[in-house]
Structure 1
């Protein structure tokens, strides 16, 4: 389970460090944590603390988005793919990217559909901000997030359809195979388990969450929920039970 230090502290340490938000199951951050856990990589986690400047992540790295991953003196990383590739470079323990080229292409395609721009997380975030004025969050928070995420009516109109399409794709994949990439546990399974919390969050006792966030993450859209097959829903819990560990510490 991660312990947290200050943002200021992780800036000066060597090794693997990551800036995150405390109490919020940001799927990009939780996926990175899950990758490090599975691969047994030691990482120091930093979150806003007493003594840090206000909005320390933006202060030091120019953007308030998380995660921000630091490795020795390398430039900061924040993209899901570059974080995964670094983790694979650092240790061959529990490979999460297949050796087979076709399976590898499959993995990065599925992972992009979950983590990438206009993927599941990106699109559902637009669904949560509604029309940019009223959404799953209180109005003031919705307006802030809509501005931060560059709320675009064209993208927003397509976002719900994209979410449903991706969920149906993932559901179909598990109809005839054990994992999202054939019969091999990969990063794609970690991405699904962590990003699923945006729509079907783990119970409070297994993932204590800021109340406003838990309420916003509790999807009420029946068509979206129906697109998650029972097997896909069970796969989220299986990945936590067998690989990521419970309860989740945010």
Structure 2
């Protein structure tokens, strides 16, 4: 994928989407899928993972990706903000379910998968812990993600428990579905976020997700700690990709 620099992006209009260059970050991939679903064109802007990104902070007041910047509107970084922006700018079927109770359920489920102290939050704590074990905490703390995810030694067991609990919930939920989707009878944002975030416990094969070897080793941390997940989680993810999402991933 070709990226604009921050300086280049500042002078452009329309939707600019800051993404981590060279890796399939689950949040960035989900953001791209939201806008593609709604037929919204965007200009990719380069962010470097695990770095300070001072020029990005100066422009947006944020270091991480994804960040959506539409014309002169305020930067959007939270998953719900991104969903709502895609809904407003684009066309096609809504990624919110029709029924209010299903919309409430969708927001809650995505928060458990993608919010603070969520599945991916705690999976990343486990990944960061492996880095600490490999190189020592002093060197590992050069990566600002340790501070972002509030890593300390005491957080590791809690993270393991949270990841296991959420995987168990998703397994049970998917086994008892009455449709092909997590909520309701059509694709929702929950399916999109689940599909990409599931890589942290069941990495997709290289031909689908050609992630760098270093990232793949990180994504193998959770299955190495907790064991392989129930096949229904992978089968569900694969169906969502086959029906709705672009493969192979490009980044």
TM-score class, shorter-chain normalisation, is 0.7 to 0.9
Partner secondary structure for residue 161 of structure 1:
helix
Q: Offset at 1:96?
A: 0.5
Contact 1:131 1:156 in 2 (8 A): no
Distance in 2 (alpha carbons) for counterparts of 1:158 and 1:67? 26
Contact 1:208 1:248 in 2 (8 A): yes
- TM-score normalised to the size of structure 1? 0.87
Distance in 1 (alpha carbons) for counterparts of 2:45 and 2:104? 33
Contact 2:126 2:222 in 1 (8 A): no
Distance in 2 (alpha carbons) for counterparts of 1:137 and 1:195? 27
More displaced, 121-130 or 40-49? 40-49
Q: Which residue of 2 aligns with 1:161?
A: 161
Q: Offset at 1:12?
A: 1.9
The alignment status of 1:93 with 2:96, answered yes or no, reads no
- TM-score normalised to the size of structure 2? 0.87
Distance of aligned partners of 1:237 and 1:68 in 2 relative to their CA distance in 1, 3 Å threshold: same
Q: Offset at 1:140?
A: 3.7
Q: Offset at 1:135?
A: 6.1
Q: Which residue of 1 aligns with 2:237?
A: 236
Distance in 2 (alpha carbons) for counterparts of 1:95 and 1:8? 33
Distance in 1 (alpha carbons) for counterparts of 2:60 and 2:185? 39
Distance of aligned partners of 1:117 and 1:135 in 2 relative to their CA distance in 1, 3 Å threshold: farther
More displaced, 201-210 or 22-31? 201-210
Q: Offset at 1:190?
A: 0.5
Q: Offset at 1:195?
A: 0.5
Distance of aligned partners of 1:135 and 1:39 in 2 relative to their CA distance in 1, 3 Å threshold: farther
Q: Which residue of 2 aligns with 1:191?
A: 193
Residue segments in structure 2 that go unaligned for 5+ positions in a row: none
Q: Which residue of 2 aligns with 1:123?
A: 122
Partner secondary structure for residue 188 of structure 1:
helix
Equivalenced residues, count: 245
Q: Offset at 1:131?
A: 7.3
Partner secondary structure for residue 164 of structure 2:
helix
Partner secondary structure for residue 245 of structure 1:
coil
- Once the two structures are superposed, the pairs formed by residues 70-81 of structure 1 within 5 Å of their partners are 70-81=69-80
Q: Offset at 1:84?
A: 0.7
